[in-house]
Amino acid sequence: MSGTLDVQIFTVSFILYGVGFVLYLLRAALQRATAGVIATGLVAVGAALQTIALGVRWNLSGHPPLTSMFEYASVMSWMAAISLVILVARTRRFEVGMYVSPLILGMMAIASIVPKEIYQQLVPALQSYWLHIHVSMAALAEGAFALSCGLAIAYLIKARRADAEPEELARLDALNHRVISIGYPLFTLGALFAGAIWAYSAWGSFWSWDPKEVGSWIIWLFYTGYLHARYRRGWRGRKAAVLAIIGFAMVILSFLGNMFLGGQHAYG
């Protein structure tokens, strides 16, 4: 293992999440409840290690690890892992891990392929307390959207089975909606409002149609549409699940968009 200490710990977390995913699969294949418990434990340990990794990185750089694509992807996966552990601990739905852990692994994989250099000196625009508010809330919201995507996949797979219990599906659907109901206000207030207020101080306008801003705007429009469809049109179950998956795909596209479209949010 190479790299700074935080990257080494990050790699260990990555491996633990991977093993956790395999155990979730085994749980489903062999119907062994213990495998689910161990898998969740491994994800919890992975998340704890990732917490340490982020802390080490914060200490090394002197600023919160929210300023590069590696750091953002890492924080996003960390948030999703913590959410998964809390969700499984509270609801005992181990099967959700099988669908959410691959998404966490995907985010970790993205983080692992982008540059991981530590910059102690932040560019002037990032030297603001809004960095903490804006980026952490956005990462938390996107972590929730990742979780909702996993729940939606779980729903769709369960709904295909002939022996699917309607009550169980309804609970999964309600849980997914609750997760989005946490992510959406966080995204609205953190990613959009806090970002716009910061941009007003740093760049001279609330909104400048930067690629990342447009990406966030589209994500927000989409989830707004989702909520309207759910509340006013009664879109639940399968339709809502499909929308949740598309929503998270948009989150990933917006995240990766920086690589191709650049813009004012392309910090590294």
- Looking at the Cβ atoms of 27 and 49, the one nearer to other proteins is 27
Contact 202, 230 (CB under 8 A): no
Which of 93, 238 has the CB closer to other proteins?
93
Of 29, 133, 117, residue with least CA distance to 68: 117
Task: Give the shortest CB-40-to-other proteins separation in angstroms.
Answer: 15
Q: Which is closer to other proteins, CB of 30 or CB of 117?
A: 117
In the complex, minimum distance from the CB of residue 178 to other proteins, in angstroms, rounded to a whole number: 9
Q: Compute the distance between CA of residue 213 and CA of residue 172 in angstroms, rounded to an integer.
A: 32
Min CB(11)–other proteins separation in Å: 25
Enumerate residues 6+ apart whose C-beta is below 8 A from 230.
177, 236, 240
What is the nearest approach in angstroms of other proteins to the Cβ of residue 10? 22
Count Cβ atoms below 10 Å from residue 229 Cβ, excluding itself: 15
Report the distance separating Cα 243 and Cα 241, nearest Å.
Answer: 5
Q: Which is nearer to other proteins, 29 or 123 (CB)?
A: 123
Provide the 10 A C-beta neighbour count for residue 262: 12
Q: Using CA atoms, how far apart are residues 61 and 56, in angstroms rounded to an integer?
A: 9
Q: How far is the CB of 59 from other proteins (least distance, A)?
A: 15
Chain positions contacting other proteins, by CB under 8 A: 91-92, 119-121, 123-125, 127-128, 174, 181-182, 184-185, 188-189, 193, 196-198, 200-207, 209, 211, 214-215, 217-218, 221-222, 224-225, 228-229, 231-233, 260-261
